[in-house]
Amino acid sequence: MTGHGAEPPAAHWPGGARIAVQIVLNYEEGGENNILHGDAASEAFLSEIVGAAAWPGQRHWNMESIYEYGARAGFWRLHRMLADLPVTVYGVATALARAPEQVAAMQDAGWEIASHGLKWIEYKDAPEDVERADMIAAISLHKEVTGTPPRGWYTGRCSVNTVRLAAETGQFAYVADSYADDLPYWVEIGRHDQLIVPYTLDANDMRFATPQGFNAGAQFLDYLKASFDTLYREGGRMMSIGLHCRLIGRPGRAEALRQFIDYAQAHDGVWFATRAQIADHWTAQHPHQRFARPSQMGRDAFVAAYGGVFEHSPWIAAGAHGLELGPAHDTAIGLHNALCRVFRSAGDDARLAVLNAHPDLAGKLAAAKRLTSDSTAEQASAGLDALTDAERAAFQAQNAAYLDRFGFPFIIAVRDHDKPSIMAAFGARLQNDRASELAEACRQVERIALHRLRGMLPR
């Protein structure tokens, strides 16, 4: 749920482009549910027929003719309009096999043909072995029809197993069965590092065929322009546009697409690209790097790795491991939150013990070189390892005054400070009452922990 975070990685699109525009043409006509294809019923999805329902054991002539329009007329209208642009086709393998002239036209235009599965059918209830077998068959048929295996995969009407099954083939430069981001991202599935190039259901002509969707081409155009404007202003983003031959291929809608393309091309710094080009670029610019993820560690390994984040208090890491840890806790901020939950929910005596586990600043333990490696580095970052005799005496006097007043050592996240600001904090905090200072000391302990975690985790 964290994704790329507050500051997404720089895309570095080719030529310094501000935005990558990716047009997908779904080619499904001839791969939809039809008893002629051995299916149990007719198609009922994404058509002009309001409230369409599957007809078990029957052909649905009207539905078939709507899909046929996409192949006979819509495709060619879109091909004429888009032939000079990079386009990715999500091709249903059985539909491609029934469309040799359209496939030849796609290839003549230099379009990428990715796989859209074996058939345009629902997989949410499909047994895993059935879906896997269909995926293998789709790859094989795709290669027969186009001459090359697909580099990208998108099922669309997928199951919870789809992305994993696609990754396990080791076949794909990217998988698109996600709507989770405006940029590509990596997932780890077993030994496979799979790039996800997310797709879209909002900037998508399918909303002409859904309730609360687009009623006219102007609405689609306005939505595409607004999406483009936001992403262009932000910079370094990807805009996906989803099209279907039988939907956007209708004359009253195709004009909206043409006007949007003119609008986007009138801007500087726009990179029209296939999804394969985006995948290759992202892989080169942001190759995946594996690391030991806290959320996947066993208890002993977790405590060994993070037990010292709160000084000499491994019980905090042990408690955090028992929480619901997931990918959101594989970052410094995420893991910090889990550890702090345990610290904050502990009793007063336990939290006070954590405070007392911290060494004095520039104290006897530092002089004897008996600090933990983290504390040593932290004190050195503020120059506390190179004090003059006068400075050391001043620190020791303040340490003693603070301990005498509050009963626990002075704690401050020294990585946020230098020597003068630390001394100023000593003076200011000595004026606090004990309850206020206890709360401040606990905040500083948490701040120290965050600094330590940022040095341990990639992000």
Q: What is the pLDDT along the chain (459 residues), one digit of tens a residue?
A: 788 988 899 999 999 999 999 999 999 888 776 878 887 676 766 666 666 777 788 887 777 778 889 899 999 999 999 999 999 999 999 999 999 999 999 999 999 999 999 988 889 999 999 999 999 999 999 999 999 999 999 999 899 999 999 999 999 999 999 999 999 999 999 999 999 999 999 998 877 767 777 788 899 999 999 999 999 999 999 999 999 998 899 999 999 999 999 999 999 999 999 999 999 999 999 999 999 999 999 999 999 999 999 999 999 999 999 999 999 999 999 999 999 999 999 999 999 999 999 887 765 555 546 567 777 777 777 677 767 888 888 888 988 999 999 999 999 998 998 888 988 998 999 999 999 999 999 999 999 999 999 999 998
**Structure confidence at residue 242 (pLDDT):** 96
> What confidence tens digit (pLDDT) does each residue in 239-292 have?
999 999 988 999 999 999 999 999 999 999 999 999 999 999 999 999 999 999
Catalytic residue among 116, 336, 358, 451: 358
CA-nearest of 151, 71, 156, 163 to 121 is 156
For residue 88, what are the β-bridge partners?
Answer: 24, 112
Backbone angles phi, psi at 322, to 5 degrees: -80, -5
What single letter denotes the amino acid at residue 155? T
Calpha distance 171→134 (Å, rounded): 14
Going from the N-terminus, what domains does the chain have, and what CATH number goes with each? Answer: 16-285 (3.20.20.370), 294-456 (1.10.3330.10)
The answer for 117, left when phi > 0, alpha when psi is -120 to 50, beta otherwise, is left
**Structure confidence at residue 65 (pLDDT):** 79
Q: Quickly count: other Cβ atoms within 10 Å of residue 284's Cβ.
A: 9
Asked if 247 and 209 touch (Cβ cutoff 8 Å), the reply is: yes
Q: Can you say how many angstroms the Cα of residue 306 is from the centroid of all Cα atoms in its chain?
A: 25
Burial label for 118, CB within 10 Å (0-12, 13-18, 19+), is buried
Element spanning 194, H or E: strand 192-196
The whole model's pTM is what?
Answer: 0.88
CA distances from 387 to 366, 397, 423 (A): 11, 14, 13
Examine the residue annotation and report whether 358 is marked as an active-site residue of this protein: yes
Q: Which two tokens stand for residue 403?
A: 């301990």
Burial label for 364, CB within 10 Å (0-12, 13-18, 19+), is exposed
Asked if 54 and 71 touch (Cβ cutoff 8 Å), the reply is: no
For 174, the 3-state DSSP assignment is strand
Average pLDDT over the chain, rounded to an integer: 91
Backbone angles phi, psi at 372, to 5 degrees: -65, 160
